[in-house]
Amino acid sequence: MAGKIKQTIDLIIKEKSMGDETIARLTRAKLIMMGINPHKYDIQSQDDPMIITKLLQAAKDFGLSIK
Amino acid sequence: MNVITAYSEKTSYEECVKEIKEQFGSVIPKLILFFASSHINPYFISDEIQNAFPKTPTFGCTTAGELISGKMLKNSLVAMAFTENVIEDFKAVVITNLPKTTSKNYQQAGDIFEKHFGKKFSEMDLKKYVGIVLADGLSKSEEKMMEEIGMLSNVLFIGGSAGDDLKFENTYVYGVGKAYTNAAILILLKPAAGFDIIKTQSFRETGKILTATSVDEKNRTVIDFDGKPAAEAYAEVFGASEETASQLFMTNPLGLMVDDEPYVRSPQQIQDKNMVFYCNIKEGMELSILESGDIIHDTQNALDDKINEMGEIAALINFNCILRTLELDNKNLSGEYGQIFSGIPTIGFSTYGEQYIGHINQTATILAFKAKQD
């Protein structure tokens, strides 16, 4: 399976920023600092369970409810 | 009146505070920030300065060198008094036992901010609020702290890690008359008339990349880059030997690239082929090898750009990495660096690491304030 990482990243940024480009940029920067570079993943990227778990935890810590 | 800056190079803490008080005059400021050389007894200075200004909360930390409008100093005390023209409101929280903090400690800090400002910390507007963070510079805890704060709020916290004049023994942060070690002070500000942030470093990408494939994150150590012992992989990029690789650290640190902007990770030493850094690197991080540029030129440009954007700047707080200060000292450029800030009321200090989104090195993070008209 592929694409889940990009999908989750996009969802986190969308939910967190609510369309505010400054907050979207800031959220991308925070993810990079956590070791997940959003620019590295596209729809073809293989689903890596470790990265997906990390992203879901990040979403939870951001106060977002993403499944 | 917007801010007043003051400094003292006296050797006794009583005389230092007396001089600062004379320079501040009869103004009762909203907030006082001060940065003091570690040669000044931390417990005495924190108490003395708060007693001298009983109606104003005072906050600060120890340093590895100080900065005041137009000058870089050593073994001194620098202070800035903010009036309500610059800071409308603020709330400070002390985070103690920094290396053992959990998410709960930061949530509690967020709750205190929320109670004070009557607004959820998670919903505060990052254009109206900004935070200052002063952290123990030897706690190795800044990354976790910044990550936790970043999870709770969009508000940007910028600041520096306290120094101790390169003794690497103990650093202190100061809050309302008390000195704390293994602690951080978070000050959430509501500036009166606007603010902005300058993040400047003098490095360019070389186009060469190292990927951390094995790390000891807690100890800020990279064991392997690209599957090879870290020191070997780093040295190989330059055609250098592992023995001489450390000579390249100051001019060729690594950068975590965010929007084409390096967030610098500075190597500290080689230990058994591992590379120890001044901030942590996570497994899988791709890092650009950087080459150094001109600190004076780049800082001046960054400040000029911000003046053009903001119009008049009423005050600056400059958190300037000790590694930049050492480079400036080595090149006899400290005076010139200080002069960059001669036209704007400025205080700052040489830090053991800078805070902006995360924990970074070899950077100046600068908070710039506008002021309401009298």
Which of B325, B46, B11, B36 is closest to B175 using CA atoms? B46
A43 contact B CB<8A: no
Domain assignments of chain B as residue spans, ordered by start: 3-200+295-369, 204-292
pTM for the whole structure: 0.96
Report whether B4 contacts B29 (CB < 8 A).
yes
Closest by Cα among B157, B156, B154 to B120: B154
Q: What interface predicted TM-score (ipTM) does this complex get?
A: 0.94
A65 contacts chain B (CB < 8 A): no
In Å, how far is A63's CA from the nearest CA of chain B? 8
pLDDT tens for each residue of chain B, 374 residues long: 899 999 999 999 999 999 999 999 999 999 999 999 999 999 999 999 999 999 999 999 999 999 999 999 999 999 999 999 999 999 999 999 999 999 999 999 999 999 999 999 999 999 999 999 999 999 999 999 999 999 999 999 999 999 999 999 999 999 999 999 999 999 999 999 999 999 999 999 999 999 999 999 999 999 999 999 999 999 999 999 999 999 999 999 999 999 999 999 999 999 999 999 999 999 999 999 999 999 999 999 999 999 999 999 999 999 999 999 999 999 999 999 999 999 999 999 999 999 999 999 999 999 999 998 76
Answer for the pair B337, B329: CB distance below 8 angstroms, yes or no: no
Interface test with B, best of A17, A23, A33, A55 (most B CBs within 10 A): A33
Query: Which contacts qualify for B246-252: CB closer than 8 Å, 24 or more apart?
Result: B246/B270, B250/B292, B250/B323, B250/B326, B250/B327, B251/B291, B251/B292, B252/B206, B252/B289, B252/B290, B252/B291, B252/B292
Spatial contact of B99 and B182, defined as CB atoms under 8 Å apart? yes
**Hey, which residues does B173 pair with through a beta bridge?**
B61, B180
Number of A/B CB contacts below 8 angstroms equals: 44
Whether A60 and chain B come into contact, CB under 8 Å, resolves to no
B332: left (phi over 0), alpha (psi -120 to 50) or beta: left
Q: Is A19 on the interface with B (CB under 8 A)?
A: no
> Nearest CA of chain B to the CA of A59: how many Å?
9
Show Cβ contacts of residue B123 under 8 Å, excluding neighbours closer than 6 positions: none
Nearest C-alpha neighbor of B328 from the set B134, B136, B71, B75: B71
Residues of B in contact with A29 (CB under 8 A): 258-259, 357
